[in-house]
Amino acid sequence: MSAVDLSLGDPELTMGEGVRRQFDYWMTVYKRTWRSTVISSFLSPILYVVAMGVLLGGFIEGDPDKLEGATSYLAFVVPGLIAGHAMQTAVGETTYPVMGLMKWQRVYDSMLATPLQVRHLVTAHLAFVAFRLVLTCGVYTLVLAPFGVFESWWGPILAFLAQVLVGMAFASVIYGFTTRLNSPEGFGVLFRLVVFPLFLFSGAFFPVSNLGGVGAWVARLTPLWHGVNLSRMFALDNITWWVAGVNVAVLLVLTAWGWWWSVTGLTKRLVS
């Protein structure tokens, strides 16, 4: 028996290397699931646009003073809908799938038996969510571009980035939430008491000023509003830059804090 080589390897992997090693895994996951995501990612949003934007919006007067600068209700609702949809995609990707990998199939356990560490797992998973968001929001925006809902050529590009950003803020925070759940029952509460009310009342469908003084300010404190507002300001080329700065800062801070909260949550869960 030859002596074992005890030379010390690199103590740990860089973030880039750790994430790169999971690329094949996430691509395999995507190849297997993309068909089922087509409906939730592309079909339902289009149905929303037709029902809310075109049919319901046909009854609403396109007054730019009342619609935050939009000349039609369709133009008003589209940037908000995409932001809201980004939130839902992000929540969908970081609830049951995370619970499954962490608790049901324990795939994360098997990944942690390799040189990968918790922070690599969280980052690669969130990178996959980012990929899904880029695809969903990108297609959504491209499909709607010919309908005259955007006021400039660069506006929708910035709006698209805002939508991905708000999606990532939700993805990282909800990931952290999931790592602290013992059963999927918490998801029902999350969907009914957080996601759905946010979708309805964070300014996607109507200007939050309609909620009245206190209501409007409460709405402006919700993370989704920051994404909706940012997305709409860019799409309608009606930008108040200091507000945009606040929106971006809030979403970036949430994303960063959520990442940290996810890493600590998953570490407590799996490395004991």
Partner 1 sequence: MAETSASDSMIIARGLRKSFGDFEAVKGIDVEVRAGEAFGFLGPNGAGKSSTMRMIAAVSPVSGGELRILGMDPATHGPAIRGRLGVCPQEDTLDNELNVRDNLYIYGRYFGIPKAEVNERTDELLEFVQLTEKSKAKVEDLSGGMKRRLTIARSLINRPDLLLLDEPTTGLDPQARHVLWDKLFRLKQAGVTLVITTHYMDEAEQLCDRLVVMDKGLIVAEGSPLALIREHSTREVAELRFGVGEHEALAEKVADLGERVEVLPDRLLVYSDDGEEVIAKVHERGLEPVAVLVRRSTLEDVFLSLTGRTLVD
Long-range contacts of 72-76 (CB under 8 A, 24+ apart): 72/149, 74/49, 74/147, 74/149, 75/148, 75/149, 75/150, 75/151, 75/235, 75/236, 76/232, 76/236
Within 15-44, which residues bind partner 1 (CB under 8 A)? Answer: 17, 21-25, 28-29, 32
Q: Can you tell me the distance from the alpha carbon of 170 to that of 86, in angstroms, rounded to the nearest whole number? A: 9
Which of these segments, 102-110, 189-197, 226-234, 247-255, binds partner 1 (CB under 8 A)?
102-110
Q: Is 271 in the site for partner 1 (CB under 8 A)?
A: yes
Closest to 203 in 3D by CA, of 187, 193, 217:
217
Among 59, 113, 182, 188, binds partner 1 (CB under 8 A): 113
Radius of gyration of the chain (CA): 21
Which of these segments, 64-72, 113-121, 183-191, 205-213, binds partner 1 (CB under 8 A)?
113-121
Q: Is 240 in the site for partner 1 (CB under 8 A)?
A: no
Which residue's CB is nearer to partner 1, number 17 or number 63?
17
Closest to 63 in 3D by CA, of 161, 165, 207:
207
Q: Can you tell me the distance from the alpha carbon of 166 to that of 177, in angstroms, rounded to the nearest whole number? A: 17
By CB under 8 A, how many residues form the interface with partner 1?
Answer: 35
Q: Mask 47-86, x = binds partner 1 (CB under 8 A)?
A: ----------------------------------------
Closest to 174 in 3D by CA, of 111, 103, 96, 79:
96
- Cβ 103 to partner 1, closest distance in Å? 11
Closest to 83 in 3D by CA, of 170, 212, 176, 197:
170
Among 74, 86, 98, 112, binds partner 1 (CB under 8 A): 112
| Residue numbers at the binding site for partner 1 (CB under 8 A) | 1, 3-4, 6-13, 17, 21-25, 28-29, 32, 105-107, 109-117, 270-272
